[in-house]
Structure 1
């Protein structure tokens, strides 16, 4: 299955409006009503999967000064399909002074399945970007499939982050070691640009990386999604605070804190991790 979706938000008369909202099964975007000055779109699943052989492409554009949050309605389970990888490409573009929160629910890679994901973000120099993704390596009681994840972030055409991580039987044998998941079955990653003022510190199971462009990348490994998200909790409320106070921002920060503190209904894997070292490879 091949499918594309486009979401475009613009600032009109001081208010963020969605000027384009279209998609194909299984990428079906829906606008939802939320309080505050941020528009919100939720992708609902129009079919099972993604499954092997699917090729999904999503583009999100936020115009100058606009503010948009994009979520998914439920976790995605990657299934084996035709034996080839399920592919997903996400392109995020944020104009001057704009803000984008990309907050999909976890992706679960089932046994023998393969998932290739590319996230490319192009924020303007004074734009704000908040991304959180969670990967679950296998369903309960089964081994994981293969996952290959790539992030590319460019600010004003200059690379701020280029990272590729592989997990599963096809990955380098060290992926479960101290420099990989350290035995954990959940990998949660959070990117904040610019970096929040209350920078966390690296710790067993959590790697914190300062980006050259002023952003912050935090990667957590854990044995279940609740533990992983607790390790990330507490950083979101201040992550989007601007350099100078502005009245509309406080409600957005509060909403984001509530949105990211809830736990998604996804199966956890009961494999116990070895004490973790650095999670970024």
Structure 2
């Protein structure tokens, strides 16, 4: 049998794939661009997969017993994933590793909370990964303002965040998927090694990149308007971001733990490690 990885072309999905392949596991790599998958992984089994197209489910679950499940950012309604969750139930999947979110066990606002409940209602053996904020949010959606304006434009107030590298999340997922029986019906909150506010993030960036980068600290309303009307991002995606930053302002992403080390036996990357590695994303 083999492991289906959804969202393989993303930061975390690709890390899961790379670690599982390196470890000698049989995988099936799924995403919405089969061409890009075949170019990136020419020697692996790949399939066209779309959560909104049920006709892609059978091929994606063919000869599969474990699944890495990641909600696409543009699907804000938990119900959008329910048809695929039902398909996993029908196929008697032995373990689904769902990429959830830190704090959703008590916070019902993000869609991850209800997706966890849907998975449990189908009684599929699960492992929920609940990471803190991804470091890749800085090099991804927020990098434009950093590169062009030397600004971190994020509505997190003065709150702190225990940022974690997507590479570490991918490695943790690969460890769990490799040893499925050991991790059935578990949940792991994953953090990086430090809890930092965005003033401290800006200071680290300024020192490393040799220019002054400022944390602007907009309100959530101003951030939402900017992302929708200036950046022209999908409204559903922006609304989810706003809900997550509201959680951050309330302290939901502040805690630091050693779960990643206990799970994997290695230390998580620091923010400095990440900024050095991804420096090209922040410089014009």
Q: TM-score range by the shorter chain?
A: under 0.3
Q: Which one has a larger percent helix, Structure 1 or Structure 2?
A: 2
Larger RCO, structures 1/2 (Cα 8 Å, 6+ apart): 2
Q: Which one has a larger percent strand, Structure 1 or Structure 2?
A: 1
TM-score by length of 1: 0.27
